[in-house]
Amino acid sequence: MLADFDRVCGNVGLQLNLTKTMFMRSGQVSDAPFSLNGTNISECSSYVYLGREVNMANDLAPELSRRKRAAWGAFKSVEEVAKKTKD
């Protein structure tokens, strides 16, 4: 399937960057290595897509943790200003 996608991309002048290409494996697939044109494709357990962390288990705990860290980071960046305006 990835080879077909790569071929079609080549037809319109696009090229897959195999060093950045990664895949997620479901539990229904064998643990055989995955490669295209002799290059091994890396496996990942989760990734962020459209601002939401996606994983095969559809576990929301990592996503909620990521959002909490982002919220605290945003708060910390304006915390001093908020304290000064409070006084």
Q: Where is 53: in which H helix or E strand?
A: strand 52-55
Nearest to 18 by CA among 46, 33, 39: 39
pLDDT of residue 87: 60
Q: Along the 87 residues of the chain, how does pLDDT read in single tens digits?
A: 778 888 888 899 998 888 888 888 877 777 788 888 888 888 888 888 888 888 887 778 888 888 899 999 998 888 888 888 866
Domain residue ranges of the chain, discontinuous segments joined by +: 1-44, 57-87
